[in-house]
Amino acid sequence: MKTQATRNPNAPDAVNPEWTDAMFAQAKRLDDLPARLQAKLRTPGRPKAEVTKERISIRLSPDVLAVLRATGPGWQTRVDTILRERFAL
């Protein structure tokens, strides 16, 4: 039994199409870009935080989780803030 879909390497890829001659003609080398953009492209991702958090697994009651998620994006950070305040950290 196959667990992954088999990809046809010859099928067109809508997300990453094969480059045309016109695309190659418009392309620029990294060295030809402004220094600020070069630096950004050479260091992908966001900067590492001074204080990093630890990934854990926690089991919460469905009603508690629903209330937390209902507060919108960033609810995990708000849980961290609530716990820090509760334990006076």
User: What local confidence, expressed as pLDDT, does residue 1 receive?
Assistant: 45
Q: State the chain's mean pLDDT as an integer.
A: 86
Q: What percentage of the chain has pLDDT greater than the value 90?
A: 56
Q: What are 77-84's contacts with CB under 8 Å, separation 24+?
A: 80/53
User: Tens digits of per-residue pLDDT, 37-79?
Assistant: 888 888 777 778 888 889 999 999 999 999 999 999 999 999 9
Threshold 0.75, pTM exceeds: no
Quote the pLDDT of residue 24.
93
